[in-house]
Structure 1
Amino acid sequence: MSTAETIDKATDGSSDAPLLIRREDAVTVLTLNRPAARNALAECLLDALAAAFADLHDDAETKTVVLTGAPPAFCAGHDLREMTEARAQADRGRAYFATIFAKCSAVMQAIVACPKPVIAAVDGIATAAGCQLVATCDLAVAGAGARFATPGVNIGLFCSTPMVALTRNVSPKHAMEMLLTGEMADAGRAEAIGLVNRVVPEGQALEAAMALARLIADKSPLTVKTGKEAFYRQREMPLADAYAYTARVMTENMLARDAEEGIGAFLEKRKPVWTGS
């Protein structure tokens, strides 16, 4: 199913689909929709997210993506009830666990690979793989009442896959503290350690994330795509390699029509007209 077809199905709050999808102009909003389970990442929700990001990758009408959760939570991580049920299988759930963690990791990588910036709008809790989702998104806005944790250590299951995203967003010691203690961090603390970009009044995270998404959507889509890809690629390179790579990226970017138009518009003191080329 294409993104457009999903949106046309009027995904509103009355739907029982695990993921709601709607578009507002150039912004597509994805809403985790398992509120009774605090939007836990059951297999059906991971599959829906994977399909949505596959569609969004080449969706020319979408310039930015906002990811949020149906109240009262953003996302409580993996569905522990579903995982516990898998223990009844002959292999004690080994195959299921391997599958669910692989699917979750694939979704996180799809967010990074998506050429559109993805913004998390967080109200309520974001724990374990839910915290991983926040850390994976390119930007994050939190309501003042939002709370974050990687609490696996408290139940005998270290948050090893959430650790991947967490350690790429906050300093090693702050990440290790969250991982080893499992304690909740409030929104102010999350902002201070770099897990979220900004904190807004409780209940206003989605509104603020939408404003940020519209601001970015007004930029050249080619330039934003180029910049996001380069950001993640250069981060894993040694310093000299990163400079060599980004110099090549900027050279190609300068030859793009949007760069020529943008520079010309700046010099002529007018609004640029982007073509995405």
Structure 2
Amino acid sequence: MSHAASASSVASPPAAPADAPFVAVSRDGGVATLTLARPAQRNSLSEGMMAALTAALAGLADDPAVRAVVLAAEGPVFSAGHDLKEIQAHRGDADRGRAYFEAVLTRCAALMTAIVRLPQPVIAAVEGMATAAGCQLVASCDLAVAGEKARFCTPGVNIGLFCHTPMVALSRNVARKHAMEMLLLGEWTEAPDALRMGLVNRMVPQGEALAAARAMAQRIAEKSQVPVKLGKAAFYAQAEMGLDDAYAFASQVMTRNMLARDADEGISAVLAKRPAQWEDR
């Protein structure tokens, strides 16, 4: 980890036209890529960005053609977290911003849980900086690939604001002492340390995170979607349970999986030493 976080040295790209999308959506076979497209605003999680990303995820959830999702970003900053200008603009409200702050944080929590609850796996492709709620966004994804120059930070403590909501996702992805170090010190975590801590799954040469994330997504897309979707949902559900309840729950889900056509096909293919033919049922 390095010294206190600052994004001030990163030059802002030209602002996007007012009618440009906050999130660009593209597809390649069974893989959909959602790209945060406000680099001039450091892809901050403004009201507009959160609404656009939440809507984009909702549009993919029930699409059987989408088998995996990659989350990427334009520019040198993956995401700088909440839009502080939007937040400060409500300090003068009659309630000093309380209602607005609660609404924004509720929207942010809904976005993060939408990623976790999306049937398809979501893979973050991180180049540059991911700070505060931007780091939370990475931690909320199922998998993450980082370029070797990527950096992560929960710097709220440096400006009098503990990163309480990023803490939720962070503490569910890395060991407690690693999470507390990031939250209490507010220092940069470089890509090698993020890999060591488990915040990201893989580190690749700078500029190759998107290609690597898409390659992972494509490998997932080639598998039967029955175990992938059942497995993702079950993973997060059992993680909140006690040991006995988790085993009972997992046994029920695995029994359901075993009764699926693709499980029969997969086992039969292994025994017959032939490729399996998936039907996603």
Q: Quick one: which of 249, 253, 257 aligns to 1:249? A: 253
Matching of residues 205-216 of structure 1 within 5 Å: 205-216=209-220
Q: Give the letter for the 2:61 counterpart.
A: H
Q: After TM superposition, which residue ranges in structure 1, 4 or more long, deviate above 6 angstroms?
A: none
Distance 1:116 1:40 in 2: 24
* Unmatched tracts of structure 1, length 5 or more: 1-12
With normalisation by structure 1, the TM-score equals 0.93
Q: What is the aligned length?
A: 265
Q: Quick one: which of 230, 234, 243 aligns to 1:239? A: 243
Q: What secondary structure does 2:104 align onto?
A: helix
Instruction: Report which structure shows greater RCO (CA 8 Å, sep ≥6).
Output: 2
Distance 2:145 2:155 in 1: 21
User: 1:200-228 deviations in whole A, cap 9, x for unaligned?
Assistant: 00011000000000001111111100000
Percent identity between matched residues is 59
Q: CA RMSD in A?
A: 1.2
Match status 1:61 vs 2:65: yes
Q: What secondary structure does 2:89 align onto?
A: helix
Q: Give the letter for the 1:27 counterpart.
A: V
Once structures 1 and 2 are overlaid, which stretch shifts more, 119-128 or 77-86? 77-86
Q: Quick one: which of 167, 171, 191 aligns to 2:171? A: 167
Q: Give the letter for the 1:241 counterpart.
A: D
Q: Which residue is 1:149 aligned to?
A: 153
Matching of residues 1-277 of structure 1 within 5 Å: 16-277=20-281
Offset, 1:72: 1.2
* Unmatched tracts of structure 2, length 5 or more: 1-15
With normalisation by structure 2, the TM-score equals 0.92
User: 1:164-217 deviations in whole A, cap 9, x for unaligned?
Assistant: 000000000000000000000000000000000010000110000000000011
Offset, 1:155: 0.5
Distance 2:260 2:267 in 1: 11
User: 1:39-85 deviations in whole A, cap 9, x for unaligned?
Assistant: 00000110111111112111111000000111111111001111111
Offset, 1:273: 1.4
Q: What secondary structure does 2:199 align onto?
A: coil
Q: What secondary structure does 1:199 align onto?
A: strand
Offset, 1:33: 1.0
